[in-house]
Amino acid sequence: MTYRIRNLVVAIGLALVAMLVTLLYVTNYKRSVQHSNASVQVYVAAHDSPAGVAGADLVKQHDLKVETVQRRDVVPGAISAPDQIDNLVLATPIFAGEQVTMRRFTDVAAQGIRAQLKGTMRAVQVSGDPNQLLSGTLHAGDHVDLVANLRLAANSAVNATRIVLRDLTVLTGPEDSTVAKVSPGGTTSVILAVTDTQVQRLFFVLKNADWTLELRPVVDASDSSERIETLDSILKEGVR
């Protein structure tokens, strides 16, 4: 093989390699363009929602809707299924038509008590002795009833006892050192979730009656019919 023929063969070989590389590049580019142009479904906000709304509520109230966009238009972090935000809460507002992304949400626990309040719900700190507040037993997330012993009239020795409020959520238990602190007098405190009207009954009992909290079952809790106990009803109960 002469020097000229060898150079010609090398040149042809290099040309073929360059052509193959170019062909591969063009093919991959076409695939990339086709992939980015493919239609995908995303979740967008049906209307404006403020910070603090639970992700589960957005799903339940149909505040999200599905739209089809090209893949290249999908916002980074966009959710692919509603259950991804079930246990999260909006950290910042979302606006109608905006793609819903994980970046807008945070863990409920990270928001503290405020994230657990919505609508007519309020948080009230209740102070009492360890027995009243079930110290050592009660924890955040538990549910309790409020039992009160009320004087029927001023300067009267006649009292009546009944369950005044039922199924109150404990937001902070007596063992949470960040909020509930035991005072030198032996009292401690809890934070309860009540409605804006329940708080009136709660405050009345705290100021005018003997009271205690009672822990409700974690599973399948139920309530008996309402009743009022007095000295007369207790003495006559079961007696012919």
Tens of pLDDT, residue by residue over 219-232, are 888 888 988 888 88
From CA 177, how far away is CA 101, in angstroms rounded?
35
The confidence score (pLDDT) of residue 178 equals 47
| Domain ranges across the chain | 39-112, 119-218+227-236
88 pLDDT exceeds 70? Answer: yes
Mean pLDDT of the chain: 82
Q: What average pLDDT does range 144-166 have in this prediction?
A: 86
Overall average pLDDT of the 98-109 stretch: 82
Residue type at position 147: V
Is pLDDT above 50 for 173? yes
Distance CA 138, CA 208 (A): 24
What is the second-level CATH architecture of the domain 39-112?
Alpha-Beta Complex (3.90)
Percent of the chain surpassing pLDDT 70:
84
Question: 147, 214 in Cβ contact below 8 A?
Answer: yes
DSSP letters along the chain, please? --HHHHHHHHHHHHHHHHHHHHHHHHHHHHHHHHHHHSEEEEEEESS-B-TT-BHHHHHHTT-EEEEEEEGGGPPTTB-SSGGGGTTEEESS-B-TTPBPBGGGEEEHHHHGGGGG--TTEEEEEEEE-TTTTTTTT--TT-EEEEEEEEESSTT---EEEEEEEEEEEEEE-TT-TTT----TTS-EEEEEEEETTHHHHHHHHHHHEEEEEEEPPSSS---PPP--EEHHHHHHTT--
Tell me the mean pLDDT in the region 189-209.
Answer: 93
Question: For the segment 15-32, what is each residue's pLDDT rounded down to a tens digit?
Answer: 777 778 777 776 666 665
Percentage of the chain modeled with pLDDT above 90 = 24
> How much is the pLDDT for 176?
65
What sign has the CA pseudo-torsion 46, 56, 103, 120? Answer: positive
